[in-house]
A and B are shown apart, each in its own frame.
Chain A
């Protein structure tokens, strides 16, 4: 009810009434006696503050060693507010205390890196011509588990803020989703459907309203995500080099502004909530989930971007995401080697009677902290007035090196900024290989019977939720707003145009970006290192198939509880696998997110290190999509027939086996293969390119047919020359492979192109007018045939069938 009232109240003020620009109250910091050194000024204990007991400390997730460290930093006992501040800042979500030693293994430098991983809210990469991209992926798994709609919506809101805080205009969103199985009528499966519907709705609600297209992503389903879905939101923004903004407080006496939405009691200590296992009782943490208002964020974004056009006025910017006001004040102070002093009485509040503890720990959405150069206050006021937003001067930059939090002039917390922001404890957790690691990789293919009905086996794999079309999801996302979406969702990578500002009013030039999110959790569960490597190369492969050159990656490391040595081992293997990939391909990690404690009572999720890769396409002519295009074209298999069936979608879907050694990644071979594909695209020799991944050759062919048929009514006929088991030929997931189509005229040159590069290649079929997929084994009468109608139905209707019934 309260929420409704305030919304309506704001609407009314949007139309006629000028907004509140709060001026500093007359009393307060100016009158503070200067005789007592800042670090000796003691905070008061609030009337309603509980006493600090062992139980209270434990409830805040702080260990006794950490508590001792807090006392030595403060040189006294903390009060309740300070305890709360330490608990969120030192949560895994904010401090990466369990993963830091591992994250240091990532390569983070490169000639295109303008802002490095960890320096700011998001990394920034040069794309030439004074243009740059800022991008990052972040998880909102725990909130989405208990409140899927708002959890996912605010996940999108948070990552958008991370990007426009850097000074970039967000131009594309993507997301990576994981749920338990949605087929079936058990309670858990119904819950999974409810989660998928809620999460999709929440992402659509936020992204559509703010007007940033959701151009792609990935979703898959596995029992390990029962009770613990994954919602990883990616955002990319573009900016000029001179528009990069930093989150540092500097310049003693510069005013600190709070802008955007009012602070409420929602999302209290969300960061701490996200740093625990999910349990039956997690539902009671629902108040820790924030409520999002995309309209407010749209206004905030436009106002901030308008303000950033005045570089003289803005000293530093930091969004209030996880840990809200706490994190933004102490991080800006720490980065700027300064201190900060704020008065909570000046923080716009949605509810009456909020305590300092609540205000500092609130994770209300759509708020930012901006440090303004003294004398430029009016610029802020004018712009925020135009957008009808609150802008309140809440404090000032000091040289004390401390975060001094006051309430009506009384100190309620007084903590040195650097130790709070940067000296969180770091843990080197124990890692051990799971007992069943080797056993699960064993696979005796001879003990597995080939399906009698291979026709049906292909339909089973193609129609499995993880492989089937995700149209039911992306149809709910506005993927075309901003009119830059060149490749619509459903191809290997999403491609967008980056308008480049024209010099001297010439015709505007453009660059193009290819983006892809990838991870195969099944591979990672069977071999976390090879799985991470596969996620990396698949992402790079998708970029390559679209005509792009990889620039950098962001990663979202989703794992279980790091206190479990087997889980920590998975994390370590995953990080090392990704690092190997980055080094082999010569691209850096620009930042990302670690989400641990993805663990429900039934156990940990499959390790899911999601890779978000961004690539640059210099020329429109290089952009390539995956569907077959012209009757008479020939189809080439590049990279060989493959034979690795372990960990495949086929074994899982047709034999209920999550077993075997997942496909190995050979970076040298893979890179050679991808480079050859890219140069073929650049030579203009290729009509369509589709990589072979989940579901093997059979699924890759079916997908290129289904999407090709939509445009121009065509089918495919394939000759299988390879000997051996047909199921292995059709469904193996050996890496470094793709199917390409080209004109008859260019066939020879394309074959030669790959032969010269030392890549296996052969013509396996052609694009025909008959709307079917026809597969014949060489020198036999044995053939298989699917009409495109049945393939399309199976692929397109799999998810709608269960979601819309």
Chain B
């Protein structure tokens, strides 16, 4: 499968995503600079984590106006897979490709640690290699990861099975204790109604190699690869 990793000034997980897709999973991968506008029709798009444009004003709010984003929006609307990780999720929300917003963590601190998540649906092209309800451990690393939306949006997300990952505690419950940042409904990742755009705060690319002690995130990339076979 062909992947393209978008690079904004301030992206800092671009090389990590590139490495996992290219070296670990042995797929075709290239970078696209934010001033570029070209995206191939058969490419899966990764918007990596980081601090695009320094996250000034509001996370993801400036990146959204980059030339490349017009092409990303176009590709997303035509059904190409798009995955936004961390800052990428924030950008997707700002660009209107996903509903809701990510605001400051509940305790105001940046948090970097492994967290337990539940895969809420195996019916997406990003999660088809997981079992429905599987519990996975993925690293989070963000200061603004508190998912926020109005009650209508939340109801729709629940109704349409658009919630892909939820934070849970050690007992498997989506409790406040299991919720690291105060996200509504313990949301860690959502997809659009069509199911081709995924946004998630945890970092699957940091959990894709045995050496790093965790391969729970690899399935997301593997699902995507399998979805086109």
Chain A residues proximal to chain B, CB less than 8 Å: 7-8, 11, 14-15, 201, 204-205, 208-211, 293-296, 298-299, 386-388, 474-483, 485-486, 488, 497, 508, 620, 804
Contact = CB atoms under 8 A, between A and B. Distances in A.
A478 B110 contact: yes
Contacts, number: 98
A483 B112 contact: no
A450 B190 CA distance: 59
Interface residues of B, number: 38
B176 to A, nearest CB: 15
Contacts of A804: 107
A669 B101 CA distance: 60
Given A211-B50, A293-B54, A483-B209, A298 B111 contact: no
Contact of B211 (A298, A480, A482, A486): A486
B62 interface: yes
Contact of B54 (A209, A387, A508): A209
Contacts of A201: 109
A620 B13 CA distance: 24
Given A209-B51, A294-B54, A387 B13 contact: no
Contacts of A480: 112, 139, 141, 203, 206, 212
A465 B163 CA distance: 41
25 contacts: A7-B56, A8-B56, A14-B9, A201-B109, A208-B51, A208-B112, A209-B10, A209-B51, A211-B13, A211-B51, A295-B9, A295-B10, A298-B10, A386-B33, A475-B113, A476-B112, A477-B110, A478-B112, A480-B206, A481-B12, A481-B49, A483-B20, A483-B206, A483-B208, A488-B213
A188 B11 CA distance: 40
B10 A497 contact: no
A8 B53 CA distance: 11
Contacts of B213: 486, 488
Contacts of A205: 110
Contacts of A295: 9-10, 51, 53-56
A205 to B, nearest CB: 8
Contacts of B15: 482
A508 B12 contact: no
A299 B143 CA distance: 21
Nearest to B35: A386
B19 interface: yes
Contacts of A508: 23
Contacts of B66: 15
A11 B205 contact: no
Contacts of B55: 209, 295
B110 A387 contact: no
Contacts of B211: 486, 497, 620
Contacts of B62: 11, 14-15
Contacts of B169: none
B112 A475 contact: yes
B16 interface: yes
A495 B139 CA distance: 18
Interface string B93-125: 000000000000001011111000000000000
B31 interface: no
Interface of B: 9-10, 12-13, 15-16, 19-20, 23, 33, 49-51, 53-57, 62, 65-66, 107, 109-113, 139, 141, 143, 203, 205-206, 208-209, 211-213
Given A15-B65, A497-B211, A476 B53 contact: no
A526 B167 CA distance: 49
Contacts of B10: 209, 295, 298-299
Contacts of A479: 112
B19 A483 contact: yes
B111 A475 contact: yes
Contact of B9 (A299, A476, A483, A485): A299
Nearest to B141: A478
A298 B213 CA distance: 28
A655 B66 CA distance: 62
Nearest to B11: A211
Contacts of A483: 16, 19-20, 205-206, 208-209, 212
B88 to A, nearest CB: 14
9 nearest A-B pairs in the assembled complex, by CB-CB distance: A211-B12, A295-B54, A483-B16, A209-B51, A478-B141, A478-B112, A480-B206, A476-B110, A204-B110
Nearest to A200: B109
A508 to B, nearest CB: 7
A208 B110 contact: yes
A148 to B, nearest CB: 15
B15 to A, nearest CB: 7
Contacts of A482: 15-16
Nearest to B62: A11
A157 B20 CA distance: 28
A481 B16 contact: yes
Nearest to B15: A482
Contact of A481 (B9, B13, B111, B143): B13
A295 B62 CA distance: 13
Given A14-B62, A295-B53, A481-B12, 9 more contacts: A15-B65, A204-B109, A208-B110, A208-B112, A209-B54, A299-B9, A477-B112, A483-B16, A508-B23
Contacts of B203: 480
A210 B12 contact: yes
A277 B56 CA distance: 37
Contacts of A476: 109-112
A294 B109 CA distance: 18
Contacts of A475: 109, 111-113
A672 to B, nearest CB: 32
A293 B113 CA distance: 25
B12 A298 contact: yes
